[in-house]
Amino acid sequence: MNNVKSVIGFILLMGVCVTSLWAEYYLAMRFAIIFSLASASGLLTLLGALLRAPEGYENRSGFHIRARRKQAHRHRHVLAMAGFRS
C-alpha cells in the first residue's frame, strides 16, 4: 500500500512540474520582462515561507515538529486622554 501511494504521489508531482514548466515557457515566450518579475516574486515568496516554517525532525515513529519557545508577554500601553473632550 505504501508503494502505491509513493507511485501516485510521484505521478502527481511530475504532472505539476510539467504543467508549471509549460506555463513558464509560454509566459517566457510571450512576456519576457513580466515573466522574470513574476518568477522573482514567486521565489521570494517561497523563500519567506521556508524561513517561517517550523523546525522538525523525523525518526522511526514519524515526523515531529518541535514546539516553539514561548515569547514573553508584552504589555501594550495606551495613552490616556484625560483632558480631551468632544
Q: How many other CB atoms are there within 10 angstroms of residue 16's CB atom?
A: 10
pLDDT higher at 69 or 13: 13
> Per the domain annotation, does 9 fall within a domain?
yes
pTM exceeds 0.75? no
Query: How many domains is the chain built from?
Result: 1
How does 59-68 read in b/e, with b if 16+ C-beta sit within 10 Å? Answer: eeeeeeeeee
The per-residue pLDDT for 71 is 61
Answer whether residue 30 is part of any domain: yes
What's residue 12's pLDDT? 92
Q: Specify if 84 maps to a domain.
A: no
CA distances from 60 to 9, 40, 54, 56, 57 (A): 21, 38, 20, 14, 10
Confidence at residue 6, expressed as pLDDT on a 0 to 100 scale: 86
In this structure, is residue 50 part of a structural domain? yes
**Domain assignment of residue 43, given as a range:** 2-57
The predicted-structure confidence for 30-64, as pLDDT tens digits, reads as follows: 776 666 777 788 888 988 888 887 777 778 888 77
Kindly state whether residue 71 falls inside one of the protein's structural domains. Answer: no
